[in-house]
Structure 1
Amino acid sequence: QDNGHMQYLARYYHQQFLEIRDYWRFWDGHLINAFRKFMQTGDLDIITCGATHGYLPLMRKSPEAVNAQIAVAVETHQRYLGTSPTGIWLPECGYFPGVDQVLARHGIRYFVMDAHGVLFAHPRPRYGNHAPIYAAGSGVAAFARDIETSQQVWSKESGYPGDPMYREFYRDIGYDLPFDYIGDYVQPDGKRKNIGIKYHRITGKTDQKELYDPYWARERAAMHAGNFMFNRERQIEFLRSAMDRPPVVLAPYDAELFGHWWYEGPWWIELLCRKIAYDQKTFRLTHMREYLSMHPEQQVAVPAESSWGASGYHEYWLSDVNAWIYPHLHKAAERMTEIARRFYHTDFLHERVCNQMARELLLAQASDWAFIMKSGTMVEYAERRTVNHIRRFTRFYNELNSGHIDENWLNRVEALDNIFPFVNFRVYA
């Protein structure tokens, strides 16, 4: 009540929440319809990912498990968007030789991988990372993540999201304000949590934070959009002088960066798109499918095994703190294939059990769990999720073998882990 600027921010957030609610209502609560609209006009190319973002290179011991991650992802895309995806962002950009053949079987024509996966391809790509290559043996195109555009956004030292004018993610009224004021919005057990209203900007590296100003932040987002565009103009001018075909600069980022970690990220995207359309004539926006349709003749090569994790390979998901999960995951995948073949023709109750086993395995395989264990952020949670999914899977496996199904427990687990309601366990057969 005593701070005029905080009152201004409170009104700002209130207005923002009203606008978000109105937008949500406009689409009847189905925001995916908005994405579908722009996909149908050709303005967006919506691609897929692994069903639960399973780290495919460490699943290769079970080809059926790799296949299931792709098959379930493709079917999900078909069900919610009404069309089959033609591209995929490989989970964690994790590529191993042969996974492209799995993609091809499911109609995937192109995928995203990290820069060195293309740079170290054999034979060495003539155009480096600025033209796709066709993976030998499958014909699926590999697009490399551009290094320069990645650094401009992701770099801890110089990336845009760390600008002092931008909103501070780690200061939230759920922790900043008196408990008697925000008590109705915390956890039932009384523990504080992030509420989503944040009054401070990054300011600097110390704990002293100035109050946030959305106007200043938007101005800075406009400046960064202009800087990004300027750098792409210079980059593409240079590449054009060295190549006999139009270069492509692929700039993929995690969606959660924009709006969640980087609050001003959506402003930056909007302003960047507007500037590219009106303020320059050096390049234009496109997507992978359109680029391939315009430039179908590309070099054939064998991409290198790679990921976008630390050191570029698999060590972040296979280290001394998370390696223990893989014997359990491999055994579960082996058992899933066994069950899928043994119960391929079965009754409704046993089919429900087998389908729930597929859900538990897919959830246990999510790469996030190993990633969190390595990063040391919410280790107990990641360990608990992995263990619980494997335990449920194993209990179902034992019940199938014993012939005694606990239907009440099945009902509870189906309600708890209800991802992919349409899943068909036979995808593992």
Structure 2
Amino acid sequence: MSRVGTFCLVLHSHLPLLAHHGRWPVGEEWLYQSWAHAYLPLTAMLRRLASDGHRDLLTLGVTPVLAAQLDDPHCLRGVHDWLGGWTLRAHSAATRLPDLAAHEHRTAAAATDEFERHWRHGASPVLRGLRDCGAVELLGGPAAHPFAPLLDPRVRRFSLLTGLADHRVRLGSAPSGIWAPECGFAPGMEREYDDAGVRHFLVDGPALGGRTGLMRPVGDSSVVCAGRDLDVTYRVWSPRKGYPGSAEYRDFHTWDHASGLKPARVTGRRVPPERKRPYSPVLAAGAVRRDALDFVDTVVARLESVRLSLGRPGLTVAAFDTELFGHWWHEGPAWLEAVLRLLPTRGVAVRTLQGAVDDGLVGDPVTLPECSWGSGKDWRVWAGPQVSDLVTTNADVQRSLLAALDAVPVGDASGTPVRDPLRDLMADQALHALSSDWAFMVTKDSAADYARGRASLHANRVHELSGLLRSGRDRAARRRTEAWTDARQPLFGHVDARDLVRPTL
């Protein structure tokens, strides 16, 4: 056990459905930007640390939605083309912005080399390699990223089992922990996790009353929760401030529209784009070192406070969206590498969540309230007045889905359920309709019309299939699905609607 305490970093990788499975208003660009600027440099950094002997570096959740896209041949070809385009854009700016163009050329070349050496067969081999060498713990999660507390228990269990099955097939083993989408929780879900073999999950710190210095068993289950330490996490990124807003870092929102490159540094919060100073990698590197040291000081101070409070070494858990590191914050991967190298030199043990459990950093049981990591730490983002129509739509989708499966079960002569592609596809479309992303985008007024349209599209498909199957018109249902050029088969190859008709565990 470290003399100071333990630091656990948890990253959550998630993007809504993109590519030919459905697009953001900006199409596949969001996926490819995150892939090139976050996933490639982060995995390269973790491999580098592992080769230097570091282990148990962080806990990484990749949602089944994103895992499917990162393994998809269409997306793999697309991001490779995008990387080539990035290089060409850098070259196009050479006469106007020579220093920026040279920096972008080097960065694009490194990303292309990383992709061609390690990613040509998708993300799964990359993630397996990092897990198998002990660098990371991989978390699973429910399929299609639903806000689980609002689901019918049967549908909630189905989404979880589908996501765990997808993880097991892609990565070779079932995860011991999950990232619950939006950190959403309702009392009683711990028993569902227990039944499904989940042993730990993350909640936001306020759900534990801020007592995040140890992981906690939930109720009388064998499942433990880790609380995100907001004081430490918000040092990096919060709704109002954080390191990425420092003057030296690259400004995410200022573009050179001729090349699509980002030529400016933040300069100042109220400085208009046309007055921002040119980006300087040298200045940014100095800021990385400064902010890494500041964060390490923050972690050490927090752990000393926890040790004083508990009378024993404890832990602090910082959790972020993976895309912060590289996509939103250009220097994020370099900062993270500096932090992970510095912490052990200050007597801090760096562990995964599973490593913290193995080290005995588990306290007394806790009763969790309804919670999430959204605004207010409650359910308002996904169940508030702005999205009351979506809540009603989601309830109707679940009723239609279950009605079709209950009214006309498909079984053999002995009554054993038989797998049916039509019902699998209906269940897959229901999972898409129930994604938490749609309510989030509406509540936050981020492409709200698109979100409502996507939710409506998938909901209408479920209702249509349900009606046809309940009336025995399987042939008509099959013809109807053949017209769905974007969804002739489930996105998740492990969707098995029989899991919805079996008795709840």
TM-score by length of 1: 0.87
Match of 2:116 in 1: 25
Q: 1:228 to 1:2 in 2, by over 3 A?
A: closer
Shift of 1:156: 4.3
Q: What is the aligned-residue identity percentage?
A: 24
Given the alignment, which residue of 365, 378, 400 partners 2:434?
A: 365
| Corresponding position: 1:280 with 2:346 | yes
Given the alignment, which residue of 215, 220, 235 partners 2:287?
A: 220
**8 Å Cα contact 1:226/1:272 also seen in 2:** yes
Shift of 1:320: 2.4
SS at structure 1 position matched to 2:276: coil
Letter in structure 2 aligned against 1:233: V
Cα deviation, 1:357-377, whole Å, max 9, x if unaligned, reads 111111111111101101112
| Distance in 2 separating the partners of 1:2 and 1:325 | 45
SS at structure 2 position matched to 1:46: strand
Match of 2:445 in 1: 376
Match of 1:125 in 2: none
**8 Å Cα contact 2:404/2:470 also seen in 1:** no
Shift of 1:269: 0.9
Shift of 1:214: 2.1
SS at structure 2 position matched to 1:105: helix
Mark the runs of 5 or more structure 1 residues left unpaired by the alignment: 121-127, 183-194
**8 Å Cα contact 2:215/2:226 also seen in 1:** yes
Match of 1:246 in 2: 313
| Distance in 2 separating the partners of 1:415 and 1:245 | 55
SS at structure 2 position matched to 1:252: strand
Match of 1:394 in 2: 463
Shift of 1:242: 2.4
Match of 1:67 in 2: 157
| Distance in 2 separating the partners of 1:152 and 1:297 | 25
Match of 1:123 in 2: none
SS at structure 2 position matched to 1:203: coil
Q: 1:376 to 1:12 in 2, by over 3 A?
A: same
Match of 1:199 in 2: 263
**8 Å Cα contact 1:171/1:199 also seen in 2:** yes
SS at structure 1 position matched to 2:495: coil
Match of 1:229 in 2: 296
Mark the runs of 5 or more structure 2 residues left unpaired by the alignment: 1-91
Shift of 1:37: 1.3
Shift of 1:130: 0.6
SS at structure 1 position matched to 2:494: coil
Q: Between the two structures, name the one with larger relative contact order (CA 8 Å, sep ≥ 6).
A: 2
Q: Which has the higher strand share?
A: 2
SS at structure 2 position matched to 1:298: coil
Q: 1:2 to 1:320 in 2, by over 3 A?
A: closer
Cα deviation, 1:192-224, whole Å, max 9, x if unaligned, reads xxx5x2112222223232221222212212211
Shift of 1:2: 9.6
Matches within 5 A, 1:168-207: 168-173=251-256, 176-177=257-258, 195=260, 197-204=261-268, 205-207=270-272
Cα deviation, 1:50-103, whole Å, max 9, x if unaligned, reads 3122111222xx101111221111111101110111111211111110111111
How many pairs align? 399
| Corresponding position: 1:327 with 2:377 | no
| Corresponding position: 1:423 with 2:495 | yes
**8 Å Cα contact 1:74/1:85 also seen in 2:** yes
Letter in structure 1 aligned against 2:181: P
Deviates more, 1:156-165 or 1:407-416: 407-416
Letter in structure 1 aligned against 2:242: G
Q: CA RMSD in A?
A: 2.4
Match of 1:190 in 2: none
Shift of 1:157: 3.9
Q: 1:268 to 1:169 in 2, by over 3 A?
A: same
Given the alignment, which residue of 16, 34, 37 partners 2:107?
A: 16
Letter in structure 2 aligned against 1:147: L
Match of 2:166 in 1: 76
Match of 1:149 in 2: 232
